[in-house]
Structure 1
Amino acid sequence: MPQEQKPEEEVAMSLIEHLVELRGRLIRASIGVLLGLGVGVFLVLGPPHLVDVIIATFAPVNESYAPIQSVGTTESFTSYMTVSLTVGLILGMPVIVYQLLAFIVPGLTDKERRLIYISLPFVTLFFLGGVAFGWFITVPTAIRFLIGFSDSALIQTQPSLADFLGTITTLLLINGVVFELPIIIYVLAFIGVVTAKQLSSFRRFAVVIVVIVAAVITPTGDPINLMLLAIPMYLLYELGVILARFVPNRA
């Protein structure tokens, strides 16, 4: 008779299966980002020349010299690709979120899988809402604060291209991800991972965690940007709690 499989072998096989599944989902997510990257390259190199739009919108205006400088040999190329990749991440976010949820919550029923598919347009909508919030609120406030911090006549404000675009794209992506919070909370509540009651009782800890997370992910480290991230993040958490209350009771 064949020997019974040892528990260690079962664990090893289970781990290998999870790693294979993770690899497959990472490949699918990467394909979504690469397709978005192609669109981003077109927007950056062709009309509407997205990098020029960003510089004209947020860079300090000075008639004496160009507001942004490129000092490295590869700085222009890498900066353009950074903006293109940001567009790719924005467009590929529904694929990324679906693959993430499908991996961390295995064994989804057909009903739960349909819910995740239905939520994907809302994932895109909320992410774009976060990007818009960053474009009109977070980024202008952050740039004005950081560049205008010193009003010395002896300091010429002329950021480098890589630093300027890197700060803006990071802030936009962070805002987009933060705005996904209500949708993710609702989906997790629907599939039974969390409940509205648990989220409500966790509120006092959520405030602390939100501030810590905002401090960690704030690319500039200044209190203005921390506040601009922490306040919307907590309000979005509360919105997620409200949405979780509308989840139908599970059998």
Structure 2
Amino acid sequence: MSNPSRSPYAPPAREPATMTWLEHLAELRTRLLRACLAVLAGLIAGFFLVTYDNYRLIWEIFHHVAPGEVARLQATSPAEVFTNAIKVALGIGIALAMPVIVYQVLAFVVPGLTRSERRIIFLALPFIMLCFVGGLVFGWYVTVPAALNFLLLQGAERFLIQPTVETFLSIFTRLMLLNGIVFEMPVLVYALIWLGVVERKTLAKYRRYAVLVIVIIAAVVTPTSDPINLALVAVPMYLLYELGLLLALIAPRRQSTSTAPTSH
């Protein structure tokens, strides 16, 4: 017999707490498929953008970041321009699809969170995208021109330096995507603290080790080992690390499951 005091529109008194492994795998497959379709759509749009007007975008990119002494790129194989245009288009596709990728990741994780936790995550979604776009902008105006100017001017007085399409675009796309990822540092730091993986005071206490790790990462991702380009990556990473600690200080904390009220 049904309870007359219960509204027919009220949610069920008890929801299933877990999913089977097959259900998890099916959900993960759906999310990955949607993310891949978004990347594919971005890839197609990026390919038309790159190949428009006889690869004008690649020409514009090169002359934006290269010094005036380097005249033009060269191709050493018949398919080099086309295949590397696809690589650039893939980078553009990933950048365009990033909102969908982040959303699919959150949609997979969110059902296991409380309503307040979901609200915090979805409020943070624009900030995540803003950080990624900020990294791309920083790379376009600061990191990439500085790194490529340094590389292309080494020995320019004695050697004719004309980089190939493949080497130039490989360095360019890698640096641009790495800048976008590196600028997610505040989100990563806050997420680790909010999820209880590490305490904020621990990260604040061991700043010197964080600086060491940041310098190592900057040395790995930058194409040169000179201190100027190293600092162009390491300094923003450290400032973003401190920003993550600041956000963790002023933002609400996640409620621990051990302290959450239990129902009987």
TM-score by length of 2: 0.77
Question: 1:128 touches 1:176 (CA, 8 Å); kept in 2?
Answer: yes
Deviation of 1:238 (Å): 0.6
Structure 1 counterpart of 2:182, from 178, 183, 189: 178
Separation in 1, partners of 2:85, 2:246: 40
- Compared CA separation, residues 230 and 52, structure 1 to 2 (3 A): same
Question: 2:144 touches 2:172 (CA, 8 Å); kept in 1?
Answer: yes
Deviation readout 1:160-203 (Å, 9 max, x if unpaired):
01111111111111111101111233344344444432321232
Query: Which residue identity is paired with 2:170?
Result: G
Structure 2 unaligned segments of length 5 or more: list them.
1-18, 256-264
Partner residue, 2:160: 156
1:127-142 aligned at under 5 Å gives the runs 127-142=132-147
1:185-196 aligned at under 5 Å gives the runs 185-196=189-200
Is 1:116–2:121 an aligned residue pair? yes
Query: RMSD of the alignment, in Å?
Result: 2.8
- Compared CA separation, residues 21 and 66, structure 1 to 2 (3 A): same
Separation in 2, partners of 1:14, 1:217: 40
Structure 1 counterpart of 2:31, from 20, 25, 29: 25
Deviation of 1:144 (Å): 1.3
Compare 25-34 and 81-90 and name the one that shifted more. Answer: 25-34
Deviation of 1:76 (Å): 0.4
- Compared CA separation, residues 38 and 111, structure 1 to 2 (3 A): farther
Is 1:243–2:227 an aligned residue pair? no
User: What SS does structure 1 have at the residue aligned with 2:154?
Assistant: coil
Query: Which residue identity is paired with 2:252?
Result: P
Deviation readout 1:23-79 (Å, 9 max, x if unpaired):
4433232222222223212321237942122022123435xx842111111110112
Question: 1:102 touches 1:108 (CA, 8 Å); kept in 2?
Answer: no
Separation in 1, partners of 2:221, 2:235: 14
Query: Which residue identity is paired with 2:49?
Result: L
Separation in 1, partners of 2:108, 2:228: 36
Separation in 2, partners of 1:187, 1:132: 24
Larger Cα-atom Rg: 2
Deviation of 1:120 (Å): 2.1
Partner residue, 1:46: 52
Question: 2:128 touches 2:184 (CA, 8 Å); kept in 1?
Answer: yes
- Compared CA separation, residues 215 and 23, structure 1 to 2 (3 A): farther
Is 1:85–2:90 an aligned residue pair? yes
Question: What is the count of residue pairs matched by the alignment?
Answer: 236
Structure 2 counterpart of 1:234, from 234, 238, 247: 238
Structure 1 unaligned segments of length 5 or more: list them.
1-12
1:3-18 aligned at under 5 Å gives the runs none
Question: 2:66 touches 2:152 (CA, 8 Å); kept in 1?
Answer: no
User: What SS does structure 1 have at the residue aligned with 2:214?
Assistant: helix
Question: 2:110 touches 2:118 (CA, 8 Å); kept in 1?
Answer: no
Partner residue, 1:10: none
Deviation of 1:229 (Å): 1.4
Structure 2 counterpart of 1:70, from 75, 89, 104: 75
- Compared CA separation, residues 72 and 221, structure 1 to 2 (3 A): farther
Question: 1:112 touches 1:191 (CA, 8 Å); kept in 2?
Answer: no
- Compared CA separation, residues 205 and 151, structure 1 to 2 (3 A): same
Deviation of 1:22 (Å): 4.3
Q: Percent identity?
A: 50
TM-score by length of 1: 0.81
Separation in 2, partners of 1:222, 1:97: 34
Deviation readout 1:194-240 (Å, 9 max, x if unpaired):
44323212322211211222222234455443332111111110110
